[in-house]
Amino acid sequence: MKKLTKTDILNIKPGKFEVFVLDSAKALLSGRQYAYQIGNTEPPDGVARYRTKANFKNRTLVVEAVPSV
């Protein structure tokens, strides 16, 4: 996938995660920053924030929706 979209991030349910395979390291960094930004500016109901894990060798980004307490 070329880039991570807002819809991709917001579709992750609280307590669940999604693995994205991106085309480049730049897209990986951008997607990680975008998930952080959405988590702080407009988190959906039930989501406290988004946690990310990047693997640059495989170009994968794991985005987890951390449930709010």
pLDDT digits (tens, 9 = 90+) for 13-65: 999 999 999 999 999 999 999 999 999 999 899 999 999 999 999 999 999 99
- pLDDT value at residue 18: 98
pLDDT digits (tens, 9 = 90+) for 30-40: 999 999 999 99
Contacts (Cβ under 8 Å, ≥6 apart) of 21: 1, 58, 59, 60
Is-contact 63 12, C-beta < 8 A? yes
Sign, Cα dihedral of 42, 44, 48, 54:
negative
Domain ranges of the chain: 6-67
Q: Which pTM was predicted?
A: 0.92
